[in-house]
Amino acid sequence: MFEQMKVHEWMTTPAITVLPNIPLSVAREFMREYGVRRLIVTENGRVMGIVTIGDVREASPSDATTLSIWEVNFLWSKLTVEQVMTHAAITIDPDASIIDAAELMLEHKVSGLPVIDSHHVLVGVISEADIFRMLVKSRLSSGTSMPVLTSA
């Protein structure tokens, strides 16, 4: 059943993109504004990488720093997406199966994949949330009842 389901049927489109040279603080605001956890980094129409909310958190200053708030803010404002993004983003074709996407995510321990067509054009992004949505909708449309959770 899931082998016949294609990435293009469940991917999120359009993918939210950013340029590699924008400040990381701007990327964080885009994520917050659009309610996403990853941005596809593009330049001249090509996918250059991916930046996730985890990348942003890792690059954020620690509360244990000895720097002043002004020094922290200055350094944070100079940090760009390109400095923290994953440069070799793993991509998938829109006609690949959902199972292929899930296997790639598991194998590479990533939570989302840019979807690139045969002309190397970004057409969307498929994430764990999209796959969960597909599973839930498939179960509901099949008429299978949902289990009831109880505490011990």
- Of the two residues 102 and 70, the one the predictor is more confident about is 102
Best CA proximity match to 10, nearest among 143, 136, 147: 136
Domain architecture of the chain: domains with CATH:
2-140 (3.10.580.10)
pLDDT per position as a tens digit, 28-60: 999 999 999 999 999 988 899 999 999 888 877
Phi, psi for 36 (deg, rounded to 5): -120, 160
Average pLDDT over residues 126-150: 78
The answer, yes or no, to whether residue 147 has pLDDT greater than 90, is no
Phi, psi for 34 (deg, rounded to 5): -95, -5
pLDDT per position as a tens digit, 79-134: 899 999 999 899 999 999 999 999 999 999 999 999 999 999 999 999 999 999 99
- Of the two residues 62 and 84, the one the predictor is more confident about is 84
Q: Tokens 């993004």 sit at which residue? A: 85
The answer, yes or no, to whether residue 151 has pLDDT greater than 60, is yes
- Of the two residues 74 and 21, the one the predictor is more confident about is 21
The answer, yes or no, to whether residue 152 has pLDDT greater than 60, is no
At 137 the three-state DSSP class reads helix
At 61 the three-state DSSP class reads coil
pLDDT value at position 99?
94
pTM of the model: 0.80
CA R_g for the chain: 18
Phi, psi for 89 (deg, rounded to 5): -65, 135
